[in-house]
Every structure is written in C-alpha cells, then in structure tokens.
Structure 1
Amino acid sequence: MSITLRQLEIFIAVAETAQVTKASKKLFVTQSAVSMALAELENQLGGSLFDRHGRSLILNARGRYLLPQAKDIVAQVANIESIMSERNDTLGGSINIAASSSLGNYILPYLIGAFKKSHPKVMVTMLVYNTKIVEGMVVDGTVDIGFVEGEINNSNLKIRPWFKDELVVLTSPSDPLANNDVFDVAKDMKDCKWVMREKGSGTAAIFHEKMKGYLDEVNVVFETGHPESVKRAVESGVGIGCLSALTICREVENGWLKALKVEGVDMKRQLHIISRKDRPVNDALVEFLVFCDVMSVCEEENVCLSSPWKLQSLLARHSAGKKR
C-alpha cells in the first residue's frame, strides 16, 4: 500500500503537537485513527519516526528528515485546487482520444481526471488500443488525437514528441534474476523465457528494435494483448517480461515484481502525440495539450506515477515553477 496524504497530514499534526490526543483534536478524528495511521506510516517507511517520552512523541532523526518533505507534499496538494481553478472553468466542448495500452491505462486516466477538475464542462472520451490501431483511428478521423508508444511514419499526421519513457525487464520475486540490480543483455539473455506483448503493440515494436542484435536468443513462450496480462504471467512465474517502467510502479512498490534496468542496450523511447495535419483543433483540445506538457518533466524527475497524488504533486510543482 502506498503512503497516503492523510497519513502525512496526521504525521505533521503529531509532530507539531507532540501528542496523539492533541493531534486528534486538531484534525477532528479519533485518537485510535491517529495512532493507526501513524503506525501504518512507520511500518511502510521501515522504522519509527518518533521517540516516546511518557505521553509525548518527539521526532527522531528519521522524523526530522521526513517532516519538511511531508509539509511540502501536503502544501502542494492543498494548492492544487486553487492553482487549477485559475484556468478558465467555463471552457466547454469535447475531446476524443485514442491511446496505446501503456499510456491509455496508466498515464492518461490521471491526467484526464485532473484536467476534468479544472474543466468540468469538457467531455472527454478515450479508447485504448495498440499503437497501430490508434494510428489508423487518427488517420480516418475517428478520434481527434492519439497518444502512442511506437514509431509512427505517416505523411498525413502531425507527430509531436511528448516525453521519454524507459522499458525495463520485470521478473517475479522468486526468479533468480530478481537477485540482480540490472539485466545484463550479454550475460542474462541465454535460457530466459519471455512473456511479450502482441504484434502491433508499440512496446513489442520497440523491444524488437532495441534488441535486434539478440533476437535469436529471445525465447517467447507467451504473447498477450495487455500489459496487465504480461505482469500477471510474470508474477506467476511463466517467464520474464519487458514493459514501461511507468506501468509497474505499484507492483514494484508492493514487492510483487522486480524491475531491472537493462545494461548493454539503451531502452529509452520517445512517446508521441499524433493528430491529422488537416484537422482543426478546438479550444478544449488546445487546453488539454497544454495541460499534458507537465509530463515533459517526468523524465527529469524520474517520477513514478503510481497514484493520483503523485501526479497532483507534479502538477503543482510544474504550475508553481511556471509562475516564477
């Protein structure tokens, strides 16, 4: 389970009042709720944050380290509503999106959710397919815009770089490779069984392009059409897989999967936004594209977007930075 905003708020209240009783009154919650949230936070962080002195709780070194960061995160989230409300909340219209699997399932729902809070009158529709199908839907005008992982070469399309992503090798915790910190292509490829995305998938296409010097050694034992299927198959021990680092954040955080950076091959890839050159762009879509620009800082900050709170924190920092 990920750290929650409420846990951080309770931690701050206890740090400022030095007592569970006073913190509970300050937050209008029960003492047991404060104690439980604090215990869960300490368990998730692997150690205590306070030294107990009678009925008082005094921050220890770990707690003193966490406190300013916790305050910063809470402040950023508290400001997100006011930051976003500064945008024009009378904007209307509709946006029809098609997205490839990794982006449509793991990135865009959080972005669309945050965008809708700022622009509730804009209707957003999103369909999720693989890169090749998304390309076709944009070309034939079924959707306004596409978000893709694979390479696109079509003279009728405007191709806009979005942000860079990195593919990683994933293993089950019981796989011998899980004892390593990296996947060494030259040494570790032999005898591996692979769980792969289907043909037409942007992830599969990039994997084959990046690993073209080693394809003779790639033994594919299972091919599937969705990242979740890849993850479950790897978790159950069918083999190892290769997916975007952004798609496996929760599994890695919970210890269900181990992610290995690839050594010997650059596995970074450029993600793109595609649209037809001759298709007019409405105000709602222009605003949404501006909103999506926040992801351009994702690579620099190595953000792992495993929860809406992490995206909101990123949005707040990005908006505050643009104001300075």
Structure 2
Amino acid sequence: MERVLASQATLHKLEVFCLVCELQSVTRVAERMRVAQPVVTAHLRFLEEKLGVRLFERSGRRLVLTLAGERVHKWASDIITRTHELERELDLAIDGELGSAVVAASMTVASYVLPPLFTAFRRLNPNGGITVQVSNPQLVTAAVRDGTCDFGVCMLDPRHDVDGLNVERLWTERLVLVAARDDSSVGDGATPQEIEALPFVSSPRNQVRREAEEDGLHAHGIVNRRVLLEFGHPEAIKQAVRSGAGVAFVMETSVRDELARGLLRRVATPEIDLPVPVFLVHRRGKSFSGFQARLVDFVRTAAVDDHPPSILTPA
C-alpha cells in the first residue's frame, strides 16, 4: 500500500469522509458543504483507492461503514482531533500566551458556576486565558471529541454516547421548585399530588435538563404535569416564573441570587429529591498543558462533599 499521507490525502478529505460517516449520505454532505455530489464522491473514491479497501456499503438509502471503514474512521477522527488541538496550541504560542484553555460547558454550569470559579482560578494563575463555549451536552461532547475544546463540564443523559471519552463525576446539582413571591397557587411546600396540579414553566423536551426533570418526577409518580411554557435558557424560565406564568424546577445554583434577594421563593418538596450529576469530560489520550492541568485540578477540587462549588468572592 502506498503511504496515504504522502500523497493528496489532505486533512480536508478526511474531514469529508468523517462527515459522510456522521450523516450517512453523500447528498446530505454535499448540501451541508454546498458543493456538488461528485466532489464528495471523488474524495471518498480517492481514499478507497489509496487504502485499497471499501469504506462504505449501502443499507437502504444510508451509507454504513464496512469493518475496514470503521477502523479508518477511528484513525481519521483521531488525526482531525489532534490537528485541531495542535493548531490551537500553535496559535497560542504565536500570540505569546503563557497558558490557555478552551472549555465547553452546558448552559447552567457555564452561566452560574464557572464564572466565579474561573475568576478565582485566574487570580491564582494570572498569566493565561480561558475561553468558555456555552452549549448543550451533546455539542459539548462533540467539541471534546473533535478537539475544538480541551475539556467539557456538563450534565449527561444516561443514554449519551461517551465512547472514547473519559467521564468523571464532579458534583451533584439539585432541581428545586420555585415560585413568584405572590403566587397564591402554591404554599411554602408541595406534595407530589399538589405538584401534578400546578402550572409549570420548563425547558424544551429535547434538553438533557428537561429529561432529567421528567425522569425524576416520573420516579415519584408525577406523570401528568401541565407545562404551559418552555424556554431554552434558565434566565428566561426564571423571568417567566417571576411574571406569574407558573412554577418551575430549576438548578439550585441558577437561582441563588433571586432567592437571596427575595425575587423568587423556594417551595419545599420534602418527598421529592431531583439530583442531576455534573461531569468532567475529556478525550482519552488528551495531553494537557501545565495551565490546563492546573485548571482541571482546580475544577475537580472546587466541589466539597458532592455539592456544587460555592459562589466565590475576591480574597
């Protein structure tokens, strides 16, 4: 076999191949890339000729990987990931930064936990920079896999595909029930039967936080809630509750300020506990710089007794 990388098997061809693996269709890849279908087909044919193996076979309208294709996909994904990591590290070296990290995080963690946590870290490590990408858990793990971030901090659905990733539990968030100060539909506490009758504001069903909420409530026999409004960001949920739209289960860390200022009130649910674990995710074999390793350790040690890190104030 000729040496593949010594010829025109560029990174672009490998990226096209991996995209076909993901979308299972030359047509969809061509539409995504805004190129003609023969261009995509030519890239695939080139790789097959150079490697001397078939990469795909048809299953109905889908393209599925052969056994050889699966091995090539694993190799190509690793090449692309390591290249993205190297490009970022070289860019940082050119810019003269002494340390830098890119972190992908799910919305609540990125909005309410990481800002004070990373501010405290920067006081201890002033010569470096941190970029936080706010996303949903699925895109967090995708960014970890393709090397566009160094590690992720997020909630994970138990059904989430974490193949090839190291997953480490950091702490446990808890969903707490909140209402507007003057909401007369609910008192200081609520039973499962009373909760089932309340009007709710929640996140959309396709979000991991909503699925965790539903699964937890179902385990307590609550299966017929009335969700009247859905918002994709915790700030919007809290504003809707403050406006009297209904009650909501929200992450305790996301509502600390409103509870302390009396803008919202917490409704006790002694019969219901809704834990949501938060995880550290990074690619297996990922080599952390000194700055990144210190940041990972700082995040690891920030939680005490499985509780989320407290809001930190300047020393």
TM-score class, shorter? 0.5 to 0.7
Give ranges in structure 1 of 5+ residues lacking alignment: 1-90, 314-324
Are the counterparts in 2 of residues 169 and 183 from structure 1 also a CA contact under 8 Å?
A: no
Measured against aligned partners, the alpha-carbon deviations of 1:242-297 in whole angstroms (never above 9, x if no partner) come to 11111101100111111234332321222111111132222111101111133321
Are the counterparts in 2 of residues 227 and 243 from structure 1 also a CA contact under 8 Å?
A: yes
Equivalent residue number for residue 107 of structure 2: 101
Equivalent residue number for residue 152 of structure 2: 146
1:195 corresponds to which letter in structure 2? Answer: V
Equivalent residue number for residue 135 of structure 1: 141
Are the counterparts in 2 of residues 93 and 123 from structure 1 also a CA contact under 8 Å?
A: yes
| Residue 280 (1) aligns with residue 287 (2) | yes
Aligned equivalents of 1:298 and 1:201: distance in 2? Answer: 27
| Residue 165 (1) aligns with residue 165 (2) | no
Aligned equivalents of 2:301 and 2:294: distance in 1? Answer: 12
Measured against aligned partners, the alpha-carbon deviations of 1:112-157 in whole angstroms (never above 9, x if no partner) come to 1111111122121101112222122212222111111233441211
| Residue 193 (1) aligns with residue 199 (2) | yes
Aligned equivalents of 1:304 and 1:111: distance in 2? Answer: 8
Equivalent residue number for residue 50 of structure 1: none
Aligned equivalents of 1:265 and 1:117: distance in 2? Answer: 39
Cα offset for 1:98?
0.8
Please give the root-mean-square deviation of Cα atoms over the aligned residues, in Å.
2.2
TM-score scaled by structure 1?
0.62
Equivalent residue number for residue 234 of structure 1: 241
2:276 corresponds to which letter in structure 1? Answer: R
Q: 1:239 and 1:299, CA in 2 relative to 1: closer, same or farther beyond 3 A?
A: same
Aligned length: 216
Aligned equivalents of 1:299 and 1:242: distance in 2? Answer: 20
Equivalent residue number for residue 259 of structure 2: 252
Give ranges in structure 2 of 5+ residues lacking alignment: 1-96
Equivalent residue number for residue 5 of structure 2: none
Cα offset for 1:299?
4.6
Equivalent residue number for residue 91 of structure 2: none
Q: 1:156 and 1:285, CA in 2 relative to 1: closer, same or farther beyond 3 A?
A: same
1:191 corresponds to which letter in structure 2? Answer: A
Q: Among the aligned pairs, what percent are the same residue?
A: 21
Aligned counterparts, 1:258-297, within 5 A: 258-297=265-304
